[in-house]
Structure 1
Amino acid sequence: MTANGTTNGSASHNPHAPKYQDSLSRVTNWSVIESTLREGEQFANAFFDTETKIKIAQALDDFGVEYIELTSPAASEQSRSDCEAICRLGLKAKILTHTRCHMDDARIAVETGVDGLDIVIGTSSYLREFSHGKDMDYIAKQATEVINFIKSKGLEVRFSSEDSFRSDLVDLLSIYRTVDKLGVNRVGIADTVGCANPRQVYELVRTLRSVVSCDIECHFHNDTGCAIANAYAALEAGATHIDTSVLGIGERNGITPLGGLCARMYVADKDYVIGKYKLDKLRDLENLVAEAVQIQVPFNNYITGYCAFTHKAGIHAKAILNNPSTYEILKPEDFGMTRYVSIGHRLTGWNAVKNRVQQLGLKLSDDEVKAVTAQIKVMADVKPLNIDEVDTLLRRFHDKVDGGIAPATPADAN
């Protein structure tokens, strides 16, 4: 039993989990606030019409995310209309909207039917000087007014600082204490410019955990490639909620990707993640969003990239065929994916070719497989072979052997 009242489940015998779990760790008890329809709208290519927003919201709900965050209804008339339409869908996920810490925005938002408001205001010296121009006393007063109003309507409320990691620590802790006493559901930490590293994240979340009793939400931008690592460090330190978007889309380089977070947390506690989300829905969800914003799913995308479970080197292929966990930390079948052992290249090994021979129902001895492997290598030194070309070669080789024509013995069969 952990300090937060949950059991570690499979993490207790997971060789990849920390040997000694942090007493405040939430790596086996956390929630996603999915922000494709808010942060994702800030992606350079994004333009979601109402129909697309509804499809994405339904797909996210089917996947199993706990919260769906929408663009502020104060942003435009269409944003307000879309927010109201999604609220009427009757989804299992709670519907949130992200607004400025301002009474005008809050009044508009509570009328749309959302389950809660995520309010935010800049706290760094950069934003206080060059954005809203207000001091911390003003921020505290404004936050108090807005939070009390939202709570009076019976809605969830999260208060987040913006640009948290370039904000003064004393200022941060002071405002977080203030809003915690007001009864917010969550306080938020935002790495708005993507400057934080996992150690900084751990230290800030751990410090904040000792100051507030409410939940802690974290929002990490990926400008320096640390978003997933920072999310994991935050959960280790006691954070409870992580903001994500599908494929990580968002402002500039985006935020923590939903699929990438699932991959990281699957390794931490597979049973928890499998029990929580319909992982086999991830590929369709990502394809839906990719099409909507006119991009391709990256070749090296977590879990669903076309290379994610492709094995090429001969020595790797042999081990994979004997025991997939030798070179795979994720099981493709848990995500509705399949592995692929590539054999039409100069690095191929005869064990991988033998596996393909068996799949095709051909009868070749080990020496014969080694001989045809040598032929594949010779041809692949000229150009890589696709699977159809390899299959044709294997069938022709088999027909010659079956017809009594002995193959040449390779001098060096891998």
Structure 2
Amino acid sequence: MVKLYDTTLRDGTQREGISYSTDDKLKVTERLDDLGVDYIEGGWPGSNPKDIDYFQKVQELSLKNAKITAFGSTRKPGVEVKDDANVKAIVASGVEIVTIFGKSWDLHVTDALETTLDENLAMIEDTISYLKEQGLTVFYDAEHFFDAYLNNKEYTLKTLQAAVDGGADTIILCDTNGGTLPLKLKEIIEEVKSKVDLPLGIHAHNDSDVAVANSLVALQTGVSQVQGTINGYGERCGNANLSSLIPNLKLKKGIDVVTDEQLAKLTEVSRYISEVANLNPPAHKPYVGDSAFAHKGGIHVSALMRNPETYEHLKPEIVGNSRKVLVSELSGKSNLIYKAQEFGIELDKDTEEITQVLDKIKTLEHQGYQFEGAEASFEILMKKAMGTYQKLFELEGCRIITEKTEGLTPNSEATIKVKVNNQMVHTAAEGGGPVNALDSALRKALIEFYPVLEEIHLIDYKVRVLDGNDGTAAKVRVLIESSDGHESWGTVGASTNIIEASWQALVDSIEYGIKLKGDN
């Protein structure tokens, strides 16, 4: 029976840029429990006030699947275990399960702990024995185990025996530096299994980009607990990625570590934890990434439409994800037909319109446009080519002035004249920059006709210089992302003039949003 041990809230927080509040950690705990993991490592009670607060509040949650574990170290050298502050904090945390890490590598004992090899063995046994006496289940993390084994096998095995003598329930072999490759890891685990009569676990780091592979090999070799983090978050290059391990185990190895219903929540949980961590969701991660089932090549899409198994190893819905077909200069007619179906447009591959749209896309992408992140602009382009698109307004003209005074922040003003429903509107607005002023003036001109603009907001604005060799005369691509609070959409513009490129993307964004809200 394989058990999933999640350390997103402890090891995962050691990733650069991640800092969860107590409330964040409690919300993540509920999502992980809902996903079906067996153990959630909540943190290190003795290390900081936030983790102490978490262990008090997590007891109020009604968890259905997971058990909360605390993390800590063996007692300090020369200190009675009952007097060790970290050990006391673990006991006071109220958990039933604790994971204690100890030194496997003689190098760390002498150089990091600055104690004797015998004292380190005593520290391991004393700590585990004491915690067992307190009625706790104890998992022992053998830190730096694989490096230690290769450097001093005899002593490393003594550290495991100390854990056995202390009464550990499971011993977890840790590739802490992430430098062990799968075949060597398998060889070492097989040797350990012949010498240690306790259940084993694996804790792999990803510094050699094989943490998931190492975890799968370890499980195939007979370990019964696998540790990791959602999205592979962790220090340096991260930990074994549970977002990949869970579906690999269930779908590829036939090990039901979660139910079908729980597996279908995997993508949602992955993206939720990304948002809580204030990180962009990992677009190209297997199974859960936004691009995990994205198809761009025309030949691929053509085959996909006949049978998805031609270019997908499983149905994306199984892990809560969805298929995405991209449109670019690499597209074929199949890409356009697929996208047209998404937009509710019936297209035949033999029609003249589809050839025109395909040629137009390839021409525009050659000019600097990119429709992969601007599907709203692509939908508008397709409807224009089909003759089914109705513009909501006409630009008659605009003027933008930016004033800069020494020592003061620049200020921009846009004056705009547009025709809406055969009515001429002439207005002006100020902004922090020329694009902001233009956006404000356009909205001011249109709001009386399309009140839903109050709900539509620009949430991202990106500019990319397409050919830096032309200096300030270079062509630029502008990508705009907008949202109504429920849905978001991307639009694109390209020009040697940044205002023109911004205008193109801005108009598409506003028109698409108005039509989406049905106010047209």
Name the TM-score, length of structure 1 as normaliser: 0.82
Q: 1:237 to 1:392 in 2, by over 3 A?
A: same
Residue of structure 2 in register with 1:226 after alignment? 210
Select 1:132's aligned residue among 108, 113, 135.
113
Distance in 2 (alpha carbons) for counterparts of 1:219 and 1:260: 15
Report the equivalent of 2:199. 215
Query: Of residues 74, 91, 96 in structure 2, which corresponds to 1:110?
Result: 91
Rounded to whole Å, the distance in 2 between the matches of 1:46 and 1:398 is 48
2:6·2:227 contact (CA, 8 Å) conserved in 1?
yes
Cα drift, residue 314 of structure 1:
0.6
SS in 1 for 2:56: helix
The answer to whether the 8 Å contact 1:244/1:257 transfers is yes
Q: CA RMSD in A?
A: 2.4
2:237 to 243, 250, 253: 253
Partner of 2:412: none
Aligned counterpart, 1:384: 370
Taking structure 1 as reference, are residues 274 and 161 closer, same or farther at Cα in structure 2, changes over 3 Å only? closer
CA shift digits 1:355-411 (9 cap, x unpaired): 3344445454432165233444344333333433443444344449xxxxxxxxxxx
Paired residues for 1:74-153 under 5 Å: 74-91=46-63, 92-102=65-75, 103=81, 104=84, 105-153=86-134
Provide the C-alpha distance between the structure 2 equivalents of 1:277 and 1:162, rounded to a whole number of angstroms: 35
1:185 aligned to which of 169, 172, 190: 169
- Higher RCO (C-alpha 8 Å, min separation 6): 1
Q: Structure 1 residue 282 and structure 2 residue 256: aligned? A: no
User: Deviation digits for residues 141-188 of structure 1, max 9, x if unmatched?
Assistant: 222222222222222111222111221222222332343354321001
- Residues 363-372 or 164-173, more deviating: 363-372
Tell me, in whole angstroms, the C-alpha distance in 2 between the residues paired with 1:232 and 1:363: 46
Percent identical residues: 26
> How far apart, in 1, do the equivalents of 2:103 and 2:118 lie?
13
- The answer (yes or no) to whether the contact 1:161–1:172 under 8 Å persists in 2 is no
**Are the structure 2 counterparts of residues 273 and 160 from structure 1 closer, same or farther at C-alpha, using a change threshold of 3 Å?**
closer
Question: Does the 8 A contact of 2:36 with 2:258 survive in 1?
Answer: no
Q: CA deviation at 1:219?
A: 1.2
Encode CA deviations 1:225-273: one digit per residue, 9 max, x unaligned: 1211111111111111111112222222221122122243344236725
Structure 2 unaligned segments of length 5 or more: list them.
76-80, 389-520
The amino acid of 1:34's aligned partner reads D
The one-letter amino acid paired with 1:384 is Q
Q: 3-state DSSP class of the match of 1:79? A: helix
Amino acid at match of 2:70: T
Instruction: Answer whether contact 2:110 2:117 (CA < 8 A) is retained.
Output: no
Are the structure 2 counterparts of residues 280 and 209 from structure 1 closer, same or farther at C-alpha, using a change threshold of 3 Å?
A: same
- The answer to whether the 8 Å contact 1:194/1:222 transfers is yes
- Indicate the structure with greater strand content: 2
Inter-partner Cα distance in structure 2 for 1:155 and 1:317: 55
| Correspondence 1:156 to 2:137 | yes
**How far apart, CA to CA, are the structure 2 residues paired with 1:384 and 1:329?**
28
Larger Cα-atom Rg: 2
Report the Cα distance in structure 1 between the residues aligned to 2:365 and 2:13, rounded to whole angstroms: 45
| Partner residue, 1:243 | 227
Q: How has the CA–CA distance of structure 1 residues 277 and 68 changed in structure 2, closer, same or farther, with 3 Å as cutoff?
A: farther
Letter in 2 for 1:220: A
Distance 2:268 2:341 in 1: 31
Q: 1:374 to 1:48 in 2, by over 3 A?
A: closer
Partner of 1:39: 11
User: Who is 2:454 aligned against?
Assistant: none
Give the superposition deviation at 1:132.
1.0
2:31 corresponds to 1:59: yes
Instruction: Quote how far apart the aligned CAs of 1:329 are.
Output: 1.7
Using a 3 Å threshold, how does the CA distance of structure 1 residues 361 and 123 change in structure 2: closer, same or farther? closer
Q: Which runs of 5+ in 1 are unaligned?
A: 1-28, 401-414
**Judging changes above 3 Å, is the alpha-carbon distance between structure 1 residues 125 and 113 closer, same or farther for their aligned structure 2 residues?**
same
Determine the structure 2 residue equivalent to 1:306.
290
What is the number of residues matched between the two proteins? 371
**Change in CA separation of 1:212 and 1:336 when aligned onto 2, cut-off 3 Å:** same
| Matching residue of 1:407 | none
Residue 69 of structure 1 and its aligned partner are, at CA, apart by 0.7
